[in-house]
Structure 1
Amino acid sequence: MTISQAEKQVRIDLASAYQLAAYKGWDDGVYTHISACVPGEAGAYLINQFGLRFDEVTPENLVKVNLQGEILSGEGPVNKSGFAIHGAVHMARPDAFCVMHLHIDSVIAVSAQKQGLLPISQHALRFYGDITSHPYQGLAFSAKEQGQLIATFGDKKAVLLQNHGGIVCGSSIQQAFYLTDVLDKACKIQLLADSMENVIIPASEICQLTYKQLCCDGDTEGQFEWPAYLGLLNIK
């Protein structure tokens, strides 16, 4: 299989994201996925082979699929029902180069709280007005629920799937991974708070200011941090 240099780099970065997710304990057996667009191939995406642990994912065994999760190249199988989420987001969000749908313990716990993610930490303020919530409707993602999810998601970077997990999208693999890391920490901090009734929430104007300050890097967000993440895997 002949692939472009751009696709080779995306394969390396995506496999690294899987490896890093395993390192951070974000994996869930052989379930959940991280997908990324294939440069220069409209409607083509890379995703993990179903049945592999995250730490087993390599640039070579990533599978190329279309929006329906059908294999374009590589060795399957792929989890078509799992790609129902990714395909819907990729189709509706041209800005979503990378989509991370994970079952991170901290994110699931906060998704099950009625108030959702509160702006009680600097980490949470990165998502001030930039995160939403989608109600749990069972295991299968129907076409109807896909539409509801996309409508709820809007142009935000993250969505809490109530009682389920989360989705983070980024304009790059690096941004999506970085934002997932920030979301995980924000949720952990919230869970460590003694009581939601006694937490300090900054004034809305301060929350808005901080959000703008934290987003000042724009689409380059996560690029500066990426080499440090890779260092965790001893990748030079």
Structure 2
Amino acid sequence: MAMTDESVRTIDGVPLTPKTDLYFRTPPEFDTVEEERLHRKQKLAGALRIFGKFGFSEGVAGHITVRDPEYPDMFWVNPLGVSFRHMRVSDLILCDHEGNVVYGGHHVNRAAYVLHAAIHQARPDVVAAAHSHSPYGKSFSSLGIPLAPLTQDACAFYDDHVVIAEQGGAVVFEVEAGKEFASKFGDGKAAIHQNHGLFTVGTTVDEACWWFVTMERSCQAQLMAMAAGTPHEIRDEYARYTFNETGSHAVGWYQFQPMWDEIQRSDPDLFD
């Protein structure tokens, strides 16, 4: 029996039919380098506040950096001694790869300069890098083992991160030590620096921040599983399949967006 117009289901007069023009968020495009710079700085200030909300701060330790779009041999970073939770766009400083502050009025954390400058120099593909002394990341780093594929979330790092023992546990202030660290980083999205903590990188601030948040939580999950018993790892073919579905630059960027929506609404002064 043919369906009549009266039998078509509607809500508020709108027919309930399959949609083909659904909205899907994508990274923004910019007309000028000034627009792109402001966007990167806003995301950086927001990401630092997110780190603060998650309790990733430890005194003056921890930093996120983003390469300047016009001067790629320089990067924006949080200044020494300013709270993650109170970070504003106007607080951010610009440093060159020699550790000189070229824009802004605060000092830079030398460890931020040494390690992050080395990573940015060694990896031209890296736009942003993140590190903090987060509780589960530094606990897990003391084991000297890689993250295991115990959960779907952990599979985003499957065969895409390394454990770096060199300089582990030492405060890295020397340029050569930073270069040694960067030389061991490889071309993946993350590193576990033994007795120190987690480092993540990405093509956007969004991506680097998300990889750090989810890696910290995966470290927490593995520590809990190991404390409870002997966890079973996901089979190689399943882990690789899940990595291919969840471990890309695009997915990393997209996963960050709900956190970005939340922080810009709860902390509008980050844009000051």
Q: Which runs of 5+ in 2 are unaligned?
A: 1-32
Secondary structure class of the residue paired with 1:45 = strand
Deviation at 1:196, TM superposition (A): 8.1
Q: Where do residues 37-116 of structure 1 align in structure 2 (5 Å cutoff)?
A: 37-116=67-146
- Hey, what's the Cα distance between the residues in 1 that align with 2:76 and 2:264? 24
1:153 aligns with 2:202: no
- Hey, what's the Cα distance between the residues in 2 that align with 1:87 and 1:119? 30
Which is higher, the Rg of structure 1 or of structure 2?
A: 2
Is contact 1:102-1:166 (8 Å) kept?
Answer: yes
Is contact 1:32-1:102 (8 Å) kept?
Answer: yes
Describe the superposition over 1:100-146 as per-residue Cα deviations: whole angstroms up to 9, x where unpaired. Answer: 01111111111111433111111111101011111115113433432
Query: How much identity, in percent, do the aligned residues show?
Result: 23
User: 78-87 or 114-123, which moves further after superposition?
Assistant: 114-123
The match for 1:213 is 245
* Superposed structure 1 runs of 4+ greater than 6 Å apart: none
The match for 2:62 is 32
Assess, with a 3 A threshold, how the Cα gap between structure 1 residues 171 and 40 changes in structure 2: closer, same or farther: same
Is contact 2:158-2:243 (8 Å) kept?
Answer: yes
Assess, with a 3 A threshold, how the Cα gap between structure 1 residues 147 and 203 changes in structure 2: closer, same or farther: same
- Hey, what's the Cα distance between the residues in 2 that align with 1:179 and 1:171? 11
Amino acid at match of 1:148: E
**Matched residue pairs, number?**
232
Amino acid at match of 2:119: V
Q: TM-score, normalised on structure 1? A: 0.91
Amino acid at match of 1:170: G
Q: 2:236 aligns with which of 204, 212, 215?
A: 204
Q: CA RMSD in A?
A: 1.9
1:170 aligns with 2:195: no
Deviation at 1:224, TM superposition (A): 2.6
Is contact 2:42-2:89 (8 Å) kept?
Answer: yes
- Hey, what's the Cα distance between the residues in 1 that align with 2:264 and 2:86? 16
